[in-house]
Structure 1
């Protein structure tokens, strides 16, 4: 689905008086409400740096950017808006959002340490060859997550600290990592 359809799916979950699983669980529904607010905030306030803008505008061959995600995913609420904004910079990039927990279960091909961690970005060329895979979160955020997990932090503490990390980072780490991915594996021309 494209980003507009993803937004519609997201909104329909929030407006449904009896949402389907897992959103019938109040915790999941609350995560989704928070994630909607976060996503909308980044769509309005997220700033792309000049390096990523230049690199993406210089892509000269068609690419498909597949984002595997779910509305309940906290990390995705901070990452997907930036991926959308970046993909919009070049008409050669087609953004396709796939839900992790819905057929065709594309996540099965892109596990992280055996788990279905999201979001995942898969960049493919015009012949459906994978050029790059990124995700589920920037390295600095992943290090914080691993540290909290090793310290047996409770879920509430993990949510708060990861949220603070994203708010302070403002998408900069994601853009630096994507810049490296784009420059090393994607077809670009010299500006």
Structure 2
């Protein structure tokens, strides 16, 4: 299948959010609170010059998607992009074309395509600043075979989720990262 076929297979954002079983309220919380600054209008208007569509590979349990999807949706709203969602685990043929570091099925992955279905930019699974935060938290975990590993990892995920929900500077990092990926490929 080509990318336009994958896009057509995807479900619209509202349907995806309505079907969410995990993180729905958190996605909606960020979605209702994140707003793009007025001084970004020229960048977003520039994105409308070449209409884009976005394929989002994701799963609703994913903490990175909980943060990144609402920010993408706000960008898309301002830039006139249509967004469609595909569940990673049901679409491995596409997912395996967008592996992180060539090995990991990390999500979300945002594939920006033009009206002809040509890939214009790809972003994901997380902004570099957030990757550094995650790496820092992971470095403090005990070894994998340590008896407290599972408990400490669960605590780490909770801390990250809380940060993703409350630290607006992280939201801005995600926005800047997506904006940079688009600007590098489109302008």
TM-score (norm 2): 0.79
State the match for 1:5 in structure 2.
Answer: 15
State the match for 1:108 in structure 2.
Answer: 96
Aligned length: 164
**Using the alignment, how far apart are the partners of 2:26 and 2:95 within structure 1?**
24
Distance 1:180 1:88, change over 3 A: same
Greater CA drift, 122-131 or 69-78: 122-131
State the match for 2:156 in structure 1.
Answer: 158
CA contact (8 A) 1:66 1:122 kept: yes
**Using the alignment, how far apart are the partners of 2:131 and 2:41 within structure 1?**
25
State the match for 1:174 in structure 2.
Answer: 174
**Counterpart selection for 2:25 from 32, 37, 48:** 37
**Using the alignment, how far apart are the partners of 2:105 and 2:162 within structure 1?**
24
CA contact (8 A) 1:141 1:165 kept: no
- Once the two structures are superposed, residues 108-151 of structure 1 have per-residue CA deviations (whole angstroms, 9 ceiling, x without a partner) of 11011211101111111222222211111111111121223233
> Which of the pair is proportionally richer in helix?
2
Shift of 1:162: 1.6
Q: RMSD value over aligned CA atoms?
A: 1.9
Q: Structure 2: which 5+ runs fail to align?
A: 1-10, 143-151
CA contact (8 A) 1:51 1:179 kept: no
**Using the alignment, how far apart are the partners of 2:108 and 2:41 within structure 1?**
21
CA contact (8 A) 1:52 1:175 kept: no
Q: Structure 1: which 5+ runs fail to align?
A: 14-31
Q: Kindly indicate whether residue 64 of structure 2 is the aligned counterpart of residue 75 of structure 1.
A: yes
State the match for 1:139 in structure 2.
Answer: 128
TM-score (norm 1): 0.77
Q: Kindly indicate whether residue 87 of structure 2 is the aligned counterpart of residue 99 of structure 1.
A: yes
* Displacement over 6 Å in runs of 4+: none
